[in-house]
Amino acid sequence: MSDDVIFVVAVVAAVSSGVIAGLLFAFSSFVMRGLRALPPSQGLVAMQSINAAVNNPIFMLAFLGTTAANLVAVVVAFASWGEAEAIYLLVAGLVYLAGVLGVTAGYHVPRNTALAEVDPDGDDAEARWTRFAAEWTTWNHVRTFAGIAAAVVFSVSLSAG
């Protein structure tokens, strides 16, 4: 495989993984903290609003585009097996796909969907929000770390060739 193709794939995957990691870092470091500082019904409504707003073409292009870049990196890794960069592309792509996409699809989306159904004035709203916010944030740290790790390993791949 062409060195130019490998280089472009690594750069696009590194940058896009870093962008998504930055977004996730914002949630882990201050967005969820801010929402949890609100009265529970307000934090719950704010998160419901954020979850509804995230379903927009710009975010979906960034998130799904990054997923596609990571999938391409995995394919390029196998297609260029034996090249110094291949193992880095493979590891970075798999870390992102499992740690960001996998955790998002398998953990965050179902919980966000369930949270959308919670009545902020319901008897169980406070307990559900408190548990949701703590658990959601913990698993968001995992996504954040996976995105950062993928961006770093893709970056390292650029000097491996």
Note the pLDDT tens digit of each residue in 107-130.
999 999 999 999 999 999 999 999
pTM equals: 0.95
Residues 14 and 157: their CA atoms lie apart, in Å, by 10
Please enumerate in sequence order all residues whose Cβ is within 8 A of that of 137, keeping only pairs 6 or more positions apart, or say none.
27, 28, 32
Q: Helices (H) and strands (E) in the chain — how many of each?
A: 8, 0
Helix (H) or strand (E) holding 151: helix 125-157
Residue for token pair 């979906």: 60
- State residue 1's pLDDT score: 75
Phi-psi region of 49 (alpha: psi -120 to 50; beta: other; left: phi over 0): alpha
- State residue 140's pLDDT score: 98
pLDDT value at 58 more than 80: yes
Quickly state the pLDDT bin for 76 (edges 50, 70, 90): very high
- Average pLDDT over the chain reads 97
- 10-26 mean pLDDT: 98
Backbone CA torsion sign across 130, 133, 135, 141: negative
Residues 37 and 15: their CA atoms lie apart, in Å, by 32
- State residue 69's pLDDT score: 98
Residue for token pair 């990196």: 73
